[in-house]
Every structure is written in structure tokens, then in C-alpha cells.
A and B are shown apart, each in its own frame.
Chain A
Amino acid sequence: MLFNSLDFVIFFSIVLAVIVIIKNRSFQHLWLLGASYFFFYYTSNYLVSLLIISTLLDFYVGKAIWKTNDIKHKKILLTISLAGNLGLLGFFKYADFSISQFNLLGNYFGFNEIPFLNLALPIGISFYTFQTISYTVDIYRGKLTPSKTLKEFALFVTFFPQLVAGPIVRASTFLPQLREKMDSINTTGKLRQIILQNSNLKFGITLMAFGFFKKMFFADNIAPLVNDIFASPIGSESFTIILGAIGFGVQIYSDFSGYSDIAIGAALVMGFKFPLNFNKPYFAISPSDFWRRWHISLSSWLRDYLYIPLGGSKKSNNRTYFNLATVMFLGGLWHGASWNFVVWGMLHGSYLVIHRFLKQKFPILSNNYFFKTWPGKIFSIFITQYLVFLAWITFRVENFDHLVYSVEKYVILDFQTTKTLEVIIDHKLEIIILILFFVLHFISYKKIELKDKISNLRLPYWFLFLLGTIIVILLFYDGNPIDFVYFKF
């Protein structure tokens, strides 16, 4: 079910209405669980069975890990959980990709081709798999007590706002909120009653309005420019490619952070606080700063469950570089079964490695006064974003020829403008929206508490904010709800 559809508006209204009317704790949680399964079933039909399998596996394995004191036994159980989760993810997401790569090699050596499995990709599998992995790993590490009931755990896995495209929520964040003592992991074990609180309601709806605006006004209206440029980039001028890269960067940010805002807002309306997933990434001043601001729930997951277990930065420099590159390579692959994402991940890996190397070799650079001044910060932002948008090209292009051509044009400027001007004239609206995005992005960067301020407006002014936002969204809505980009991951 798309957030940006009438279906969701009706679905969400019904879910809330029932929660408000029937104030029975047990019923409320069952109702939320049922609604979440319905939400997934609505989009994915029989693939809901995978979600159920994953839930059952990790609930019982988690319990077993907690109960046993034998380290060896714990390790075996954790391996079962990892193999089950990664097996499902690998099979459904990467089987056909692996077959195609095997067939490519096989052709070279004269082997017979293996037929494709043509499996349907279960929506959200990358997200809920990572959530369940974090659950069993945290229990293994002794950082988390397992869920007391299957209902509680199932609700953590399937909770509909974050089910399909994140943010990747940890059990240690979610489960205490389900129980009575919200501020502590050591809870009484009773599930709390869900009460719609005014402050949560207003802030949650404000966040949702921001999310819808990002997705439906910015992302969907910039998409035609990006599609036009990257449908056949060969022959395009450098400035056209740069425009396409910037356009795609803004599109994917507005799309994904818009989804996150709606998810976080919808959860908050029901009283669940999710962590921030984006923090103005296009104002990052270094590659590592970018990853502290972009898809924060994924980068922190990769840090805690991959980078640190690999040794993090505690071992030799070379090992740290290797760890960074490996994490980013796997992070790229997590996005999808395509070389685009692998190259994208590797590029970001190389940025992190080079940045770290330069910082260590030339500490004078990072301590230089210039980088603490405004011009220095602008310079750092410019360099970082130049690299980030270069990487977005690898994410967006459709084949290898397009990739080589586009990257070459992006890096080696031809200073031609004739065709770029034609593109701009053909896409005036998209260009204006792109400029508007950067203006608003800058305002939100300078005024960090913008969402808070809006949600604290007096009701008549807040109503006007909502009305204006909805009108602008609808005025530029073309009648076709477009999938969120991250749905396919």
C-alpha cells in the first residue's frame, strides 16, 4: 500500500478510529498487528508468508539464545537465525542476479545457461530482515531481553509505518515503548494502552505533511527531468549530466526522507517514537559526515552489526580501510541485486577510505582554521556533494555504456551549453522546483526546529499550514501515485 494513495488515507483513518474507540490494551495490540499484516498483504499478497516465517524463526531462536548459557550453543542458534534471515533475503533478492552473473561466466567457458527463477521480490524484505537480525544479535550480546510474547515481537517486526521502507528500528527502541515503562528496557512486561496524545498527534501529522510534500511535490515533480536526462544520456553535455545528477539526488532524498517522515509521523501519532533517519545530508562537510546524515538507521545498523564486529577502527589502518570498504560494498549490495548499487557502495567506500587516509596523513588539513570558517565550510560541502552526486549517477544509470559516458562527462567538463539550455527550457517547472528545494533545504538547515515550531503553532495557523501544504501537493499531482524508490530495496 502506497502512503501517497487514497487507500492509505482510508486505512490509516480506520486504524486510528478503532484505537480511539476501543480502549482495550490487548485488543489494541491485536488490532495493530492485524492491520500491519493487512497492510503488507495488500501490497504483497502471498509473500506475507515470508514475513510470518521470519517472525516465527527469530522469536523462537531469540528465546532459545536467551535461555542457554552455553556459548557454543548460543553461537549455533545465532548462526541459524542469520542463515535463515540472510538465506531468505539472498534467495529472493539475489538469486536471479547470481544466475545472470553465473551465466555470463558460463557463456565464456561454454557451460549451459541456468534458467532464471523469476521470483517476485518481497517488498520491504531488506528492512524487516535487518530488524530481526538486530533482535537476535542483541539478545546474543546480552543487550536485550527477548520479547515476552509472540504478539509483541510480531508487532515489532510488522508495525506498518516502518515495515516497507524503514527506518530500521531496533527492538531495544521499540519494545519498551510497547510496554508500560517506556523509559526503561527493564519493564513490567505489560503492554501499554495506546492513547493519542495531543502533542504527538500534532507533531506526527506535521511530520507526515512534510513527508507527503517532499514525496509528492518535490520527488514526483522532479522525476520527469531526471527520467528524460537518464533515458539516453549518451550525447548529452556535461552540464546536462550534472543537472541530471543533482535532480536525481534531490529526487531520491525527497522520496526516501519523505517516506521516513510519513513513517515516523504515523508512528508518532500512535505514540511510538522512531529515531531520525535523515538530517540534511546535502549539507554534509565530509563523506563520513554524509553517512551520519543519510539513511541514519541503515548506517548505524551497518556500524553496529558489521563494521564494529569486523574490528572497526580498533585494529591497523589497513584493516580499518578494509572494514570501511567492505561495509560500504555490502551496504551498496543491500540496496539491490545490480552492479549499479555495488559500484555506488564501492565509490562511497573509497570516499570514506580516502577521507580517513587524508585525515591521518595530513592532520594539519582537518585542523586548519580555514575549514572552521564559513568559506571553508562551503568549500567542504561543495567538494563532498560533488562526490555524492557523482555517486548518484552510478545509482541511476541504466547500463554500463551510460555509466561510462555520464561519469566521464561529469568529471571532464565540456563547457557546452546549447543542449543543456534546451533541457532547461523543456523542463522549466522541474528546474523551478529544484531551486525551491534547495531554498527550503537551506531554510530547514538554518532553522533546525522548523517542524517543532510549525507543530506548536496555534490551531488556526496550524490548520492554514496544513491547508496550504495539501493544496500545493494536489495542484501539482498528476493523478498517478508513484512508488517510493526504496520500495524495491
Chain B
Amino acid sequence: MAIRIAIAVLSALVLALLVIYLVNESYASQFEYQNMEKWEKRFYTQNFDPEQKKIFLIGSSHTEKSDTIFIEKSLMEQSYDYEVYNLAYMGSQPATRVSSIDLIIQTKPDLVVYGLEFLSFWPHPLSGSSQSLETVKQNTESLLPEPKELFSNVTQDWESNFIDFENFKNPKLTTLKIIDVIRGEHKFQYQGGKHPFGPYGPDRVMTYEELQKNVEEFPFLHFVDNDSKHIDAMKKMIKKFQENNIPVIIFTTPHHELYLKTISEQDKKNYFLIIDSLVKEFGIKHYDFHDRYSDLETWANGDHIAGISIGSMAYSEDIVEIIIKEINQ
């Protein structure tokens, strides 16, 4: 009987894991950035009007918060007829974006405005390469060997060698999206439009107190060595744009003052050294917005301006300004 009970428990565990794995495998691949490759292909291969001039805004979620409708309208008011597409998406870094460079070039944009940030050339915090302050603290506090570390090394080995846990890491996210789909509040399908890869809409503005808490919880307080693959990818993209006569300008995305305080002066200096080298090597323009709206009450969190807020309007106005400067050259 005890063996039958043990088998029942084990079977329930294995079967439950299998169900969750299958649910995640079936649905997770259809969500947002996880299926970005497919979505990018759909966007870039659509039939664009060859007569219509186009501007592409590229970058991560920090670039996402500029309003294409506002930018188009402002350009039109000054007699510049451009379609503006915000192609930013969460977690985009040069090494991931470079895979779609040929598709971008095929669509022949008239200008590329590329948003970069302090994390652009570092291993992405969500990839788990950087360490949280808590982890760093814990590690330094241990006087005896840590069996916990040994265990996590073993599970990481399994993960990298045998099983792909990627879609299994946050089953709740998948469940919530499935619920949203059932309730008709979320579409799996690619949406298209001017913000094809990330929705643009109103976000709640955090109070200063909330921002303090939010910034304290950042998982990436401790930067590690910068990652040359991102710098190489950025160089490759700029070079390809220039070879195809597509003008490109870069800018540093804005952050709140509390967030900026979490980045060491040395890390900031390193970032700007990379930017300077890009500017010098390719003769492109760089605009620095990193602390421009840092004291405004307009932040959805420490490093994202709230959508449809005074900050996102100011941000969009500044982007209009740098676009016009570039067009007039």
C-alpha cells in the first residue's frame, strides 16, 4: 500500500509537471517578445507604400514610450510627411536586433532613430548574468561552503544540457494570458500598426515614494563586464545602414534620477566611452536624454516614462526635434 501511495504521489507530480509544461509550450511561444522573430518578419515583409517616407524608432522598452502619432502629427505640422513606426520592444539589445537588420534594410526606411541605454552593452539583467546586491551580500557573508550553490549549479547544468526550462520559468504569466484571451482582453496575434511590437497606452505614474521602493528592488544593481557582442552588433548595424544610404542617429534614453543613482559613475563613463567611439567611427549624431526628465513626475517606474503622460509628450517632442535636425542636414 505504501508503495502504491508513493507511486500515486510521484505520478501526480510528474503528470502535473507535464500538463504545465505542455500548456506553456503550446501557448508561451505565441506571446509577445518570445515570438519576436516571427512578428518582425511579418512587419518588415508587409507591403509598404513605396512613395511614403518612413522613420523607424528602434530600441528597447525605454524607446517604446515615445508616441508615434504625436511625432507624425508634429512633423506634419512642419510639413514633413513621414510615417513613423516605433519598433522598440522589451529587452531588445543590439545583439538581438542585428538578426533583423536585412529585413529592416529591405523596407528602405528614410531614417533610423536608435535608442540606447546604460544596459544596452551589458548582459541583460533578465538573462541572469548580472547579480543582485542581495546575492552578492549573501555570498560574501557565507563562512562555510554553500550547498545551495552546488545544488543550483547542478540544476543549471540540467537546464543547459538536457531540458529547456525557458517557457516553464513563469507558468503564472502564461496562465494569466490564457485567461485574458478567454476574456477577450488579449490577442495572441500580431497587432501591426505604428507600435507593432509593444503596445503603447497610458501607464500609472508612480509617486516618488513608490519610485524609491521600485528602484531599491532593481535586480541589476551590480554591473558585470560589458559584452562586446552588443558593441560589435551595433557597429555592424550602423555600417549596414550607412552602406545602404539609410541615415541613422542614436540617442540615450531617459531615466529617473533615483535609477541613475544606482549606476556607478564608472559604469556611466564606460557607456559614454562606447557611444563616443561609435560617433567618431561612423560620424553619426548622438543625443543624450539620460537625465532630461529625471525630476518630472511622469515615471511608470525607475527607468520607464509612463505612456501618455507629460513626460512621454516631452520625450516625443525631443525626438521630433532631433528628427527635424537630421532631415534638415
Contacts and interface: CB of A to CB of B under 8 A. Distances in A.
Nearest to B141: A120
Q: Interface of chain B, helix or strand or loop or mixed?
A: helix
A202 B5 contact: yes
Contact of A6 (B155, B175, B176, B209): B155
B12 A46 contact: no
A232 B170 contact: no
B301 to A, nearest CB: 12
Nearest to A464: B12
B299 to A, nearest CB: 14
B17 interface: yes
A202 B2 CA distance: 9
B145 to A, nearest CB: 9
B147 A38 contact: yes
Contacts of B141: 45, 120
A198 B5 contact: yes
A205 B213 CA distance: 39
Given A231-B209, A429-B176, A466 B171 contact: no
A471 B19 contact: yes
Given A45-B142, A45-B144, A476 B175 contact: yes
A475 interface: yes
A45 B210 contact: no
A466 B12 contact: yes
B15 A467 contact: yes
A463 B147 CA distance: 33
A198 B11 contact: no
Interface residues of B, number: 38
Interface in A120-144: 120
A196 interface: yes
B172 A463 contact: no
Contacts of A201: 2, 5-6
Interface in A295-312: none
Interface string B144-159: 1011100100010000
Contacts, number: 84
Contacts of A467: 12, 15-16
Given A201-B5, A202-B5, A471 B172 contact: no
Q: Residue among A42, A197, A463, A474 with the most chain B CB within 10 A?
A: A474
Contact of A196 (B2, B142, B171, B175): B2
B263 interface: no
A71 interface: no
B210 A231 contact: yes
A46 to B, nearest CB: 4
B143 interface: yes
19 contacts: A7-B148, A41-B144, A42-B148, A43-B148, A46-B142, A196-B2, A198-B1, A198-B2, A201-B2, A231-B213, A232-B209, A466-B8, A467-B16, A470-B12, A470-B16, A474-B16, A475-B20, A477-B171, A477-B172
Interface of B: 1-2, 4-6, 8-9, 11-13, 15-17, 19-20, 23, 141-144, 146-148, 151, 155, 169-173, 175-176, 179, 204, 207, 209-210, 213
Given A20-B2, A45-B146, A459-B4, 5 more contacts: A41-B144, A197-B2, A201-B2, A462-B8, A479-B170
10 pairs of A and B residues whose beta carbons are closest in the complex: A470-B16, A466-B12, A478-B172, A479-B170, A46-B143, A467-B12, A463-B8, A232-B209, A474-B20, A479-B169
Interface of A: 6-7, 20, 38, 41-43, 45-46, 120, 196-198, 201-202, 205, 221, 231-232, 234-235, 426, 429, 459, 462-463, 466-467, 470-471, 474-479
